[in-house]
A and B are shown apart, each in its own frame.
Chain A
Amino acid sequence: MVGEVVKRVLAIVFILIIGFWMAKALDQVPFGQDRMLVGKYYLEHVEEETGAVNAVTAVVVNYRGFDTLGEVTVLFITSTGVAALLWRKKRKRTAKTEGSVVLTTGARLLLPFIMLFGAYIFIHGHLTPGGGFPGGATIATAFLFLYLAFTVYEIDHKILEPLEGLTGVGYVIVGLTGLAIGGYFLFDWIWQTWGIGKENIGRLLSAGFIPIIYTLIGIKVGTELTGIVDNMIKEPEEGGQ
């Protein structure tokens, strides 16, 4: 017990020291001041260069599209890693009771609306806050809902895994098409070369390949998070290590 108290006191002293130095450092960073350098360039050129009005989306998908491909790869590795870590020979749902009436009815009723809302978020990524990642997470919550409500529900793996792979390949194909047309990977050929949607900036059909890539990312994130939920919710059968 004494060891426990000593440990807590040491922890508190440690975090107080760290907190003091963080506060001291942040004292030199005045809040709310304009200190944009690259950000200013992005804000001023985002409409003519990418066609998107949401500068954050333009940075994530267009200017730094290659990094986002890496980010999607990290998510893919995570979903593979979770599957590998939780791999057992025989695994199935072990929940004993169905969800309550409220949960089951709510899941049935809300499912299409949650998916619609998720799709809305990722399709409008270049116009409104959000984009592929939150949209995909919203879609995954719809499936989480189903898993929680019904004891026997399991997603169709024949559709889930191929869809996950295809969307990832789709992202690379979009990038390679840019390489073929414009000379570098993830060149936005729809906006820069074809000039589609130049007259309706701020509407849905603009911003070149951003809606396409964000739709792919949205589906990919949705399937990957659903796969993670599926892996975590299933347990090995009795004696079936």
Chain B
Amino acid sequence: MNPYYFASIALILIGLYAILAKRSVLKMLVGLSIMETGVNLLLISVGYVSGRSAPILSEGITPDRAVDPIPQALVLTAIVIGVATTAMALSVVINLYDRYKTLNVEEIRRLRG
């Protein structure tokens, strides 16, 4: 199996494990970010074409010597949206801590009754 595919699947699974098994909300968010990185790496490596260069048509790079620009544009968008969701989630976490004085999801569930 290709190392890039392997790495991206591994990153996605590590992130998923953190979301499933960790009890701290903050660690779940870290897992979410790791998953995001994995998805981005997967998209980029699907768009890669062997032996070609970045899609910037400078000297010596003709259109048939550049990789697919579309996955890269897609990942650019995905990174920005990832930052946005992370920021929103972090502020929800700050509110959670203010109210319950803990970040442990099981304790929060118990405190809510």
- CB of A42 within 8 A of CB of B17, answer no
Cβ–Cβ contact A129 & B88, under 8 A: no
Q: Mark A14-51, 1 if CB is under 8 A from B, else 0.
A: 11001100110011010111111011101110110000
Count of A residues near B, CB < 8 Å?
60
Let me know if A223 is at the binding interface, CB within 8 A. no
- Taking a contact as CB atoms under 8 Å apart, the answer to whether B20 and A11 are in contact is yes
Residue of B whose beta carbon sits closest to that of A15? B13
- Give the shortest distance, in Å, between A13 (CB) and chain B (any CB): 10
On whether A33 and B76 interact (CB within 8 A), knowing A43-B55, A43-B57, A74-B84, the answer reads no
- Beyond A11-B21, A22-B9, is A67–B90 a contact (Cβ under 8 Å)? no
Residues of chain B with a CB closer than 8 A to A147's CB: none
How many A-B residue pairs have C-beta atoms within 8 angstroms? Tell me: 142
- For residue A98, give the distance in angstroms from its CB to the closest CB of chain B: 24
In the complex, A56 Cα to B46 Cα: how many Å? 16
Interface membership of chain A positions 162-185, coded 1 if the CB is closer than 8 angstroms to chain B and 0 otherwise? 000000000000000000000000
State whether the Cβ of A189 lies closer than 8 Å to any Cβ in chain B: no
Q: Is the CB of B66 within 8 A of A71?
A: no
Residues in A lying within 8 Å of B, measured CB to CB:
7-8, 10-12, 14-15, 18-19, 22-23, 26-27, 29, 31-36, 38-40, 42-44, 46-47, 53-56, 58-60, 64, 67-68, 71, 74-75, 77-79, 81-82, 85-86, 127-129, 131, 133, 137, 202, 221, 225, 228, 231-232
Top 8 A-B pairs, shortest CB-CB distance: A32-B50, A11-B20, A55-B69, A43-B63, A55-B55, A78-B84, A39-B68, A31-B2
Chain B interface residues toward A at CB < 8 A? 1-2, 4-6, 9, 12-13, 16-17, 20-21, 42, 45-51, 54-58, 63-64, 66, 68-70, 72-73, 76-77, 79-81, 83-85, 87-88, 90-92, 94-95
